[in-house]
């Protein structure tokens, strides 16, 4: 008898709204993290209308407050609980935590770039390796999507984490992976069938509309990590 096909499961990974640390360009990755700015709250408020076409049956957020704040408008609109999951937090900056200088931002970007090029043994200074990050993040995504149902699971997470995890999950070529950027409330829509993930859509700008973007803000966890970005 042929094996029964696993129903398609849609996963929408959304980055949190803008925070004060994003504006400053600080590598803010530790719990609890900064709150949303006024713009960040407007970005979050725009999410429900932007995903009105999705049959959302679960909403998850990381342990950092900014993802939970971003999830609140969608949860209220759908009458769902925001479930906080360990493992969905941002890639730890380690010794670079809360630093603002260009050299620190470049060191963080270079660590991500090495992972996207396949060197998962590399570790950020005082932080985690690519293997350690992917193990805890993908385990959290598996937990978020394992419940019965075929609706869309929305996960509010972080810029660097989403870029690295999506690149690995769908097997993006390195040249495409390092070119990914994601603004606050940008995201990735994925589908899983028979335990294989595919990328349906990548949204680099805020899901509620490009007019909600703030290109003037330094953004070390959302910017692409191509060679051209190094030394800016």
Pick the catalytic residue from 4, 16, 110, 228: 16
Is 215 inside any structural domain?
yes
Query: 164: domain CATH number?
Result: 3.40.50.1240
Does residue 16 carry a catalytic annotation? yes
Is 67 inside any structural domain?
yes
Pick the catalytic residue from 54, 90, 110, 228: 90
Residues 133-150: tens digit of each pLDDT: 999 999 999 999 988 777
Is 4 inside any structural domain?
no
Does residue 90 carry a catalytic annotation? yes
Read off the pTM: 0.93
How many angstroms separate the CA atoms of 192 and 146, rounded? Answer: 11
SS3 content of the chain, % helix, strand, coil (to 5): 40, 20, 45
Is 124 inside any structural domain?
yes
Is 15 inside any structural domain?
yes
**Residue 139, domain extent:** 9-143+152-225
Is 56 inside any structural domain?
yes
Is 230 inside any structural domain?
no
Asked whether the predicted pLDDT for residue 22 surpasses 90, the reply is yes
Is 3 inside any structural domain?
no
Asked whether the predicted pLDDT for residue 1 surpasses 50, the reply is no
Confidence of residue 226 (pLDDT cuts 50, 70, 90): confident
How many angstroms separate the CA atoms of 78 and 72, rounded? Answer: 10
| CB of 15 closer than 8 Å to CB of 206 | no
Asked whether the predicted pLDDT for residue 187 surpasses 90, the reply is yes
Asked whether the predicted pLDDT for residue 184 surpasses 90, the reply is yes
Q: What's the total number of domains in the chain?
A: 1
Query: For residues 111-130, b (16+ Cβ closer than 10 Å) or e, as one string?
Result: bbbbbbeeebebbbeebbbb
Peptide bond into 10 cis (omega under 30): no
Dihedral of alpha carbons 192, 197, 203, 204, sign:
positive
Confidence of residue 39 (pLDDT cuts 50, 70, 90): very high
Asked whether the predicted pLDDT for residue 229 surpasses 70, the reply is no
Asked whether the predicted pLDDT for residue 231 surpasses 70, the reply is no
CA of residue 97 relative to chain centroid, distance? 18
Count of beta carbons in the 10 Å neighbourhood of residue 189: 21
Residues 205-218: tens digit of each pLDDT: 999 999 999 988 88
- Cα distances from 74 to residues 16, 62, 149, 191, in angstroms, run 12, 15, 19, 20
Residues 79-137: tens digit of each pLDDT: 999 999 999 999 999 999 999 999 999 999 999 999 999 999 999 999 999 999 999 99
């Amino acid at each position: 008898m042929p094996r029964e096909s696993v129903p398609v499961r849609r996963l929408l990974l959304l980055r949190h709204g803008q925070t004060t640390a994003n504006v400053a360009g600080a590598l803010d990755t530790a719990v609890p993290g900064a709150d949303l700015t006024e713009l960040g709250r407007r970005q979050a408020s725009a999410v429900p209308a932007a995903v009105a076409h999705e049959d959302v049956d679960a909403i998850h957020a990381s342990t950092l407050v900014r993802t939970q704040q971003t999830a609140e408008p969608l949860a209220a609109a759908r009458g769902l609980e925001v479930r906080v999951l360990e493992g969905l937090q941002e890639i730890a900056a380690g010794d670079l935590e809360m630093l603002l200088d260009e050299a620190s931002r470049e060191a963080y970007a270079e660590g991500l770039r090495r992972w996207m090029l396949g060197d998962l043994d590399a570790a950020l200074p005082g932080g985690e390796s690519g293997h350690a990050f992917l193990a805890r993040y993908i385990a959290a995504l598996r937990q978020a999507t394992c419940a019965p149902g075929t609706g869309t699971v929305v996960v509010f997470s972080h810029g660097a984490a989403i870029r690295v995890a999506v690149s690995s999950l769908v097997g993006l070529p390195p040249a495409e992976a390092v070119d990914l950027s994601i603004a606050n409330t940008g995201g990735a829509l994925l589908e899983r069938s028979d335990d294989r993930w595919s990328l349906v859509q990548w949204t680099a700008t805020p899901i509620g509309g490009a007019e909600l973007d703030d290109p003037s803000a330094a953004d070390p966890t959302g910017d692409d990590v191509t060679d051209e970005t190094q030394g800016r």
